Chain A
Amino acid sequence: MNLINWDKKNPLSSLTHIQHEMSDLLDFLSSAHQTENYISAEFPQIIVSINEENIIVRAELPGVKTADLNIQVVDEVLTIKGERKPATETQKINYLRRERDYGTFARSIMLPERVDIEKVAASYKNGVLTVKLPKSAEAKPKQIEIKRV
């Protein structure tokens, strides 16, 4: 292999490396019950945020073509479906290291509020999918006037 692992420079560092891998593993196992990060075994991972007008759902989907993505909203459920395809080369390729994965995925998210289905907009930039779901008129806060009697 022509790309040499950085850690190989120092022979002792591989031991430290093992030690850290072990401690990472222990951290991972002990945190599994506590943090939200590991609850969901789903792809893509999402972040949901809100502002006054919209519910915004973001997902990291690097290297997915927009043509391979399918987004649907039915009532209060948002569904993101798609496929991530492996690298395509005209010539024969030989993998030396493989960490990135590919395959099909589908995920549904129950939204916190009712949305205006007609006005849902999705954009994809730098590998991040952003779905903007405007809250429906009923869900927005309404100012109620107080009448004097």
Chain B
Amino acid sequence: MEKKEHPVVEKKKISPDKCVVTGKGSWYFPLADIYETADNFTVLIDMPGVDSENITVDMRDNELIVNGAVSQEAYANEKVIYSEYNIGHYHRHFVISDAINRDKIEAKMSDGVLSLVLPKAEHVKPRKIEVKAE
């Protein structure tokens, strides 16, 4: 595998026109990868600092809504002297089409990365049609 230099990650703040931002603290737009395999779509979302208990994944109508809350408790007795990134909650939503089997969506959190596995619905999976000789 080719090695490459890691570029800078810039946190994008959610601007109020894109969705209604309510609640305490700032909200950020987490970076996500979406890829497809033969049976599933997988969404990987970077949400560093979020505990698996503080993540909610909701399916509402056509939307898959991901919220992650971060805690800043660790900083309570510390004085920040240099800071390059902002800490805030994460929110992102995706519109899901009929191609996904909504009952079988799975979510897993590990090392600050949320992975959502969206299984393809039967009707979109590639199928071979046999040609009958007459």
Residues of A within 8 A of B (CB): 2-9, 16, 20, 24, 36-37, 40-51, 56, 60-65, 83-84, 87, 89, 91-105, 112, 124, 126-128, 130
Contact A63 B36 (CB under 8 A): no
B36 touching A36, Cβ below 8 Å: no
Whether B81 pairs with A60 at a CB distance below 8 angstroms is: no
Known: A3-B94, A45-B84; 14 extra A-B contacts, CB below 8 A, are A2-B100, A6-B63, A20-B15, A37-B84, A47-B82, A62-B112, A93-B35, A93-B42, A96-B36, A97-B33, A99-B33, A103-B6, A105-B5, A126-B48
Nearest residue, chain B, Cβ from A127? B112
Closest-CB distance, A38 to chain B (whole angstroms): 8
Q: Is the CB of A47 within 8 A of B48?
A: no
Q: If the complex has contacts A2-B97, A84-B6, are A126 and B111 also in contact, measured as CB distance less than 8 A?
A: yes
Kindly state the separation between the CA atoms of A49 and B85 in the bound complex, as whole angstroms.
Answer: 13
| CB-defined contacts of A41 to chain B, threshold 8 Å | 8
Please tell me if the beta carbons of B37 and A93 are within 8 angstroms of each other in the complex. yes
Chain B, range 1-52, C-beta contacts under 8 Å to A: 3-9, 12, 15, 17-18, 31-38, 41-44, 46-52
Most buried by A among B51, B83, B93, B100: B83
Q: Beyond A51-B79, A126-B49, is A87–B37 a contact (Cβ under 8 Å)?
A: no
Complex Cα–Cα for A88 and B85 (A): 28
Q: Is B96 part of the contact surface with A, judged by Cβ < 8 Å? A: yes
Contact among B36, B82, B86 for A48, CB-based, below 8 A: B82
Q: A4-B97, A6-B95, A63-B113 are in contact. Are A45 and B32 (CB under 8 A)?
A: no
B residues contacting the other copy or chain, number (CB 8 A):
57
Given contacts A48-B80, A64-B111, A128-B48, contact A6 B93 (CB under 8 A): yes
B3 touches A96 (CB 8 A): no
Offer 16 A-B interface pairs, CB within 8 angstroms, sorted by A: A2-B100, A3-B97, A37-B86, A40-B8, A49-B78, A49-B79, A60-B112, A62-B48, A65-B111, A89-B42, A95-B35, A97-B33, A97-B34, A101-B9, A105-B6, A127-B113
Query: What is the CB-to-nearest-CB distance from A108 to chain B, in angstroms, rounded to a whole number?
Result: 14
Chain A residues whose CB sits within 8 angstroms of the CB of B6 once the complex forms: 43, 84, 101-105
Q: Is the CB of A61 within 8 A of B81?
A: no
Enumerate chain A residues within 8 angstroms of B84, measured Cβ to Cβ.
Answer: 36-37, 40, 42, 45-47
